[in-house]
Structure 1
Amino acid sequence: MPASKQILVATDLTARGDRPFARAKMLADVWNADRTLLFVNSAKTEVDIAKVEALLVRNYGEDTEGCNLAINYGKPPKVIADTALQLGSDLIIVGAARHNNISDFFLGTAVDHLVHHAEAPVLIVKERPRADYSRILVATDFSDCSAKALRVSLAFFPAAQIDLVHAYHVAYEAWLKSEGVATEMLSDAEKELRDFMDALNLSDTDSARVNPRLVQGNLHQSVHNMLDSGDYDLLVLGTHGRGGFSMATIGSRASEMMGWSPVDVLMVRNSG
């Protein structure tokens, strides 16, 4: 990983923000990156900088040492996206607000807006970090955006193994007509997957870390089932793709997947 990577961490100054902060510290150590903690104050009152610094130290401890501090005013999603652009951030890290119980995460319009507008990938941290990401699930629909999601995953996490999953659908009517139809559809999906991988032109090292997988059925449900296995510690989704991950549905399917995923989620936007 090249030096001087820039990580922007959005914080509300409370102790519940320790998870994104801790993940940012782990990534910064691996990447030799600079961290900027951003506090967005929506009120018109001036922020007491000394009080903010004291809260950061009290809630996040000595790991705040070496962090840059940014304080801006306005609506958090827009301010976070704008600040990341101004700083040239390579990654934005945010937390998922919890309510009702520990497994109930709600992201809502704030993170949707951020993912929709930020140029940099957005990492939504849900779990308490205990180790570097080692097993990553990347969903693909063979689009440019999912290709970018895979490339970003390979670049950000050079020691991780990556499962690249694509779901193909066989209509029930096709099964009724002929098993040969289903076999043909599987063959077509296998060819698409091979062509997708070939077009990426990955290095031998990166290719060895990617395990392409086909599953039959609904991608949304398939990803849910795979994450439930407990084998993965990060889900990566691209935006601008066709099907379930298009920007037009960021408020529905992709938002749902961010919401119910039991693991951290990295959203990679393809702005092309």
Structure 2
Amino acid sequence: MFNPSLDVSGDAVVNQVPSHIVFATDFTARCDRAQDRAVQLAIEWNASLTAVHAIDDAGVAANASVRHAHQVAARRNAKRLREDLAGVEGLRSSVHVESGRPATVVQALATRERADLIVTGLAGSMILGVLPMGSTVMALARSSLVPVLVVKKKLLDTRSRTLVATDLTASSSTALRVALNWFPNGRHGLFHVIDPPYRMWAEDKAAYTRQVEQFAIGECARFAVEAAGAAARNRFDITVRDGDVVDALRPVVDQGDLDLVIVGTHGRTDVMNFLLGSVASRIVNEIESDVLVVPPSF
């Protein structure tokens, strides 16, 4: 039984739901689900909502008339969205159109508006990073100072089935506390992957792996308690798997019909991380559920 009154403490995370949400949109149908989710969460959390669209002149043809047409279309779409949001009862909203690289525009607005969450999305069947909005999502997921929710599924509520993917580091402890604070009535899972040492020398490799998994379950329970207090242990179903993180996570998400995977980042922006992709980036790319990426500094 989950206890919504659980006192979840931690210096690295705000102990309340977001009060201001930024919704990043490219005005195409692939952001419709993200828009619905942003509106839904804003109403449930009594948060204000700011929608933002970036006009990236670098991505538009050099011809001046084409650029002008692009800008006119953006303003027209912004007017329609402004009218749509104004018609939602109980929603405090605004719509901004600004010029610049999308990720830069979104992050700057989130900082200026003191937002607590950025919401965006792409259709789950698309590979993030091969589309303009996809590259924006990956840039935000890697460098945003506030959590980024990438929406893929049609429905999410605060009693949702959530899973925190953890490597038992400080960055994922922040993600764990966000799960408890933002979704206090949800069913939570804690997911961890192991790579059993010395397995190649074990006579019974399967038995040895099971032994390491049991030890890891205990480590996950201790991690939850250290991150969020003694009561947190009973709020998570712990799953430990062996192998590649994303390959092991995918069937857990699919079989459990999970709504949301929450993952922390390590805040790395070096060249190797850009080329190889972090675990968080792979989860955003390859897992079919919504993904909430939580930066360690949040």
Do the aligned residues in 2 keep the contact of 1:81 with 1:118 (CA within 8 Å)? yes
1:3-50 C-alpha deviation (Å, 9 max, x unpaired):
870000011223432211100111111100000011111237595586
Do the aligned residues in 1 keep the contact of 2:199 with 2:205 (CA within 8 Å)? no
Q: 2:55 corresponds to which residue?
A: 41
Do the aligned residues in 2 keep the contact of 1:18 with 1:60 (CA within 8 Å)? no
SS at match of 2:191: strand
Cα distance in 2 between the residues matched to 1:69 and 1:228: 35
Cα distance in 2 between the residues matched to 1:63 and 1:223: 37
Task: Flag structure 2 segments of 5+ consecutive residues without an equivalent.
Answer: 1-14, 58-66
Cα distance in 2 between the residues matched to 1:230 and 1:37: 32
| Runs of 4+, deviation exceeding 6 Å | 58-61, 177-180
Do the aligned residues in 2 keep the contact of 1:174 with 1:182 (CA within 8 Å)? no
Q: 2:126 corresponds to which residue?
A: 104
TM-superposed CA distance for 1:158, in Å, is 1.4
- TM-score (norm. length: structure 2): 0.76
Q: Does 1:56 align with 2:81?
A: yes
Q: 1:233 corresponds to which residue?
A: 259
Q: 1:91 corresponds to which residue?
A: 117
TM-superposed CA distance for 1:94, in Å, is 0.6
Amino acid at match of 1:106: L
Cα distance in 2 between the residues matched to 1:3 and 1:165: 23
Q: Does 1:6 align with 2:20?
A: yes
1:56-76 C-alpha deviation (Å, 9 max, x unpaired):
167778339631122221000
Amino acid at match of 1:175: A
Cα distance in 2 between the residues matched to 1:66 and 1:182: 52
TM-superposed CA distance for 1:82, in Å, is 1.4
Cα distance in 2 between the residues matched to 1:84 and 1:257: 23
Cα distance in 2 between the residues matched to 1:214 and 1:226: 10
Q: 2:220 corresponds to which residue?
A: 193
Cα distance in 2 between the residues matched to 1:259 and 1:128: 17
Cα distance in 2 between the residues matched to 1:181 and 1:66: 56
TM-superposed CA distance for 1:116, in Å, is 1.8
Which 10-residue stretch deviates more, 11-20 or 221-230? Answer: 11-20
Do the aligned residues in 2 keep the contact of 1:92 with 1:122 (CA within 8 Å)? yes
Q: Does 1:69 align with 2:91?
A: no
Amino acid at match of 2:112: Q
Equivalent of 2:234, from 208, 211, 218?
208
Structure having the larger proportion of residues in strand? 1
Do the aligned residues in 2 keep the contact of 1:146 with 1:241 (CA within 8 Å)? no
Do the aligned residues in 2 keep the contact of 1:112 with 1:250 (CA within 8 Å)? no
Task: Flag structure 1 segments of 5+ consecutive residues without an equivalent.
Answer: none
Q: Does 1:263 align with 2:284?
A: no
1:117-144 C-alpha deviation (Å, 9 max, x unpaired):
2111000011223644510011111000
Return closer, same or farther for 1:241/1:141 CA change in 2, 3 Å cut-off: farther
Amino acid at match of 2:212: M
Aligned residues: 264
% identical aligned pairs: 29
Cα distance in 1 between the residues matched to 2:36 and 2:210: 47
Equivalent residues in 2 for 1:169-184 (5 A)? 169-170=195-196, 172-176=199-203, 181-182=208-209
Amino acid at match of 2:96: A
